[in-house]
Amino acid sequence: MSRPAQITDIQHGRLALRSGVMIYVGVLVVLPLAALVQHGLADGLLGLWRAAATPVAVQAMVLTLWTAALMAVINAVMGTLTAWALVRYEFPGRGVLSALVDLPFAIPTLVTGVMLVILLGPQSPLGGWLAAQGMPIAFAPPAIVLALLFITMPFVVRAVEPVLLEQDPAEEEAARTLGAGTWTVFRRILLPPILPALLSGTIRSFARALGELGSVIVVSGNIPYRTLTAPIYIFGEIESGQPQTAAAVSVVLLALALVLAFAARGIERATGVHNG
Amino acid sequence: MGIRVAGLTKHFGDFLAVDDVSLTVESGELVAFLGPSGGGKSTILRIIAGLETADAGTVAFNGQPADHLHPSARGVGFVFQHYALFRHMTVAANIAFGLRVQGASRRRQAERVAELLALMGLAGLGHRYPSQLSGGQRQRVALARALAPEPKVLLLDEPFGAVDAKVREELRHWLRKLHDEVHVTSIFVTHDQEEAFSVADQVMVIHRGRLEQAGTPDEILDHPRTEFVARFIGEANVFETRVQGGAGQVGALRIPVEGIADGTPVCLVVRFYDLKFWRDDQGCARVVRMTTLGDRVKVEAQIDGAGRIFSQFPRRSSLLHGIAPGCRIHIEVTLARAYAATK
Amino acid sequence: MARRARTRQLTGAQRLIVLLVFAYLGLILVLPLGALALHALAQGPGTLLLTLTEPAARQGLLLTLFVAIICVAANGLFGVAGALVLTRHRFLGRRVLDALVDLPLAVSPVMTGLAFLLIFGRGGWLDGPLDLLGLQVTFAVPGLVLATLFVTFPFTLREVAYVLEELGTSEEQAAMTLGASPWQTFWLVTLPNIRFGLGYGIVLTLARALGEFGAVLVVGGAISGRTQTATTFIYNALEERREAAAYGMALLLAVISVALLVAIEWLKRRRERGQ
């Protein structure tokens, strides 16, 4: 530039950058979701209700919700425990364990399904034994919960870890010098700051589980009314040429997922946490 | 290069940070913006640099308006309070940066880096990274980096705020020495009065977004023009009273006041060293406490019928002979500055 | 604030907790992985290699790689640009953009696939224009690319935005006062400072693109030789009861994932150290 840089030149450049990004996001993210919502609501809310409230669909939703909820509860407890052990204790294998927690983020969900089928399918030693005890795992809801546990393992651990790391030992020590026992210290000093992170991590894991397909489709057997989850139902409707029903149920799931994401982000923003 | 600022105003949301400020810095001067935190000094500095934009007013360098220019085009060197050194570059690369982005040859860059390393007493540290340096060294690198592209103006935002007292003194010495050698028009922001008075040619006192007074250190110290400047500079007692019979009465203490009509409410500012006292059992005040502050002594006395009055004297001062907590003293104010009350 | 040192001497109760955690993670993570490895290798490494070198498997892997690279490039670029816009610009609609970035994470892959079908498929929004231009998006590679771009969109952006927030703007402002243009500032100051966050985001993108299943299945149809990725290869193989092929590919993907995991951990560590 032969003349000195003007503020307005820079502002034009910034506007161009912003516009580029907005266009990309608009085309890549907004457009598809708009198509989904438009199609699902093509017959209005009543049409949506009719399409999404069929017995099979409702059962699929119910199954999806309760398996995800059960998983979320287990995850909340075990995830916190895991984060606790990783942050506060030193033991052989701690580093490897910590790395392992991120594994579900790296592994394809389909591969997870395959692994679980190998481990727990009727032909496997473990699966066969369980079936003989009258507790078949594969192709039954427990398998779904297990798959979901694998997939969402990191959410709670990674959410709680930074909070535990930030905790000032001085607070705990002060409480102890004032006579508080271990349980009281945990309940009053350590738990409260963890709670928001725990909550948002659990919500995120729940939301993630709602949409899970790859692992569940392999491991559940997809039996309608028994092990057919909502995403698999949607997939089935697409395959059988019923995009309207698929879109309708999708809109319901999407609405739910958005509310959950909003809630989680709200909690995170209020407490200044990063979800990465 | 001279700087002229006229009618500068800046809001941050509802908060008025800079309120119609106009000032002039002569070419080659070393000026201090002095004032309490949050008073707008840094904001004015950043507006001059182009890092913030003013809502109203103009900034001109050598008479040429500069408001439309991007910071990269203003020829302004800036030193940040927390150094803002490029963490992934060596000291040498940091210093050379300004020349590098302007397309100077490798040889020119190397020459200038060597020059500045020598000037700032950093010889041999060129290959180090900022994380390997002490606070004082980092700030000297920041100075060197700002000076390398030969800016016409040097702006420093609380440059010595992040280091400890001893290092601060050293750095002040560097800055003064630097300015004497290089003669760049410089403005530095500080809330430390000692710093401002010991280093700068001109001091501009800025408070609540307004320029209270601009002048040499002596002018500011001896002729404070506003109540704020009088209170802020040095340590002072402040009394609010009404002029009666050519004096302000503060309890049993009588302070002569000149040039203000009787009946006017005034604010009287008396510096800690602008008064005398001696033992007097019929005196107007009683010594409450005497505190030793290193090589000075602070005397706190209770005026009959009014509040406390403080004074400070060197330990060996003859005024302190025979004075002890509990004894009564007579106080004579040698210099009181009176300002019509602003309430 | 002082960081507490980790307790080295564990009490009985604490040991129990550690044991519990080991058992939990072992059951959920290690056991399945081990079962896969054992089972796939039980076929004998020779058979394994054979199944992996069959043309369909090779094509699937190459296709997956191709799509993944495009996603890394496009979402890497727009991820950095988007992160800059989110953290360094102030404008009307910034909150909206922030919310939009997270959307793909909330959407089930099968819904993603459906959405793209509804735009580019038969009877979809762009069906006419595409037909006119003779372009095929659904049940073709472009569809796979678009769907995977959607699901991998947030990763790089979020990670770079995080690092940019932590870094602050003072170095960039310093560069400006020294005469650097916005591009020079980005290239010489910002980019080196975000490299580990960027690397982390890219590896996450890669892993996600590699593992994408639901969306590519719906949009692509998993047509062997045309739109069959590595993951849909496994799915088809399972449907056709060709377990050996399925498990072989699954093992390969698992191994690649573990390698990516190592990279993820390393980059995470370097990212924290850079602050």
H helices present in C109-140, as ranges: 109-120, 127-133
C257 close to B (CB below 8 A):
no
Q: For A48-271, CATH number?
A: 1.10.3720.10
Spatial separation of the C-alpha atoms in residues C203 and C6, rounded to whole Å: 30
Contact (CB<8Å) B97/C192: no
Domain final position from B224, B245, B262: B224
Please report residues of A whose CB lies closer than 8 A to that of B53.
Answer: 7
pLDDT for C2 equals 53
Regarding whether B75 and B171 lie in a shared domain, the answer is: yes
Per-residue pLDDT tens for A227-270? 889 999 999 999 998 888 899 999 999 999 999 988 988 888 88
Cβ of A150 and C32 within 8 Å?
yes
> Are residues B107 and B240 both part of a single domain?
no
Residue C152's domain comprises: 64-273
3-state secondary structure of A206: helix
Give the lowest-confidence range in A89-103, B125-139, C46-60, C134-148: C46-60
The four Cα atoms B223, B228, B234, B239 give a dihedral, to 10 degrees, of 100
Kindly report the CATH number assigned to the domain that includes residue C169.
Answer: 1.10.3720.10
Confirm if A76 and A160 have CB atoms less than 8 A apart: no
- Asked if pLDDT for residue C1 goes beyond 50, the answer is no
Q: Mean of the per-residue pLDDT values for chain B? A: 90
* Chain C interface includes A71 (CB < 8 A): no
Q: Give yes or no for residue C230 having a pLDDT over 90.
A: yes
Best of A9, A21, A219 to substitute, by most chain C Cβ atoms within 10 angstroms, is A21
pLDDT at C253: 93
d(CA B328, CA A53): 94
CA distance C24 to C21: 5
Give me chain C's average pLDDT, please: 89
Q: What is the CATH number of the domain that holds B137?
A: 3.40.50.300
- List Cβ neighbours of B226 (8 Å cut-off, separation of 6 or more): B212, B213, B339
Mutation for B interface: A7, A9, A10, most B CBs within 10 A: A7
Given an 8 Å threshold on Cβ–Cβ distance, is B76 in contact with C189? Answer: no
Question: Number of folded domains in chain B?
Answer: 2
| Phi, psi of B36, deg, nearest 5 | -70, 165
Pairing status of strand B30-34 against strand B202-207: parallel
The length of chain B is 343
The answer, for A102 touching chain B at a CB cutoff of 8 Å, is: no
Which of B196, B224, B252 terminates a domain? The answer is: B224
* Chain C contact present for A22, CB below 8 A: yes
Distance in angstroms (rounded) separating the CA atoms of residues A146 and A138: 10
B208 is a domain residue: yes
Does residue B143 share a domain with residue B10? yes
Q: Where are chain A's structural domains?
A: 1-40, 48-271
- The tens digit of pLDDT for each residue in B233-270 reads 888 888 888 888 888 888 888 888 887 888 888 888 88
- Find the domain containing B293 and state its range: 235-340
Is C131 contained in some domain?
A: yes
pLDDT of amino acid B342: 59
Q: Which chain C residues have a beta carbon less than 8 Å from that of A29?
A: 100-101, 103-104, 150, 153
User: C263 falls in which pLDDT band (50, 70, 90)?
Assistant: very high
Identify which has the larger pLDDT, B130 or B251.
B130
Chain A neighbors of B101, CB-CB under 8 A: none
Query: Which among B236, B271, B242 has a CA at the least distance from the CA of B254?
Result: B242
Which chains touch A (3+ CB pairs under 8 A)?
B, C
Residue B230 located in a structural domain: no
Chains A–B, number of C-beta pairs less than 8 Å apart: 19
List the structure tokens of A56.
């099979």
Q: Do A4 and B50 touch (CB under 8 A)?
A: no
Claim to verify: residue B33 and residue B174 sit in the same structural domain: yes
Contacts of B98 in chain C (CB under 8 A): 178-179
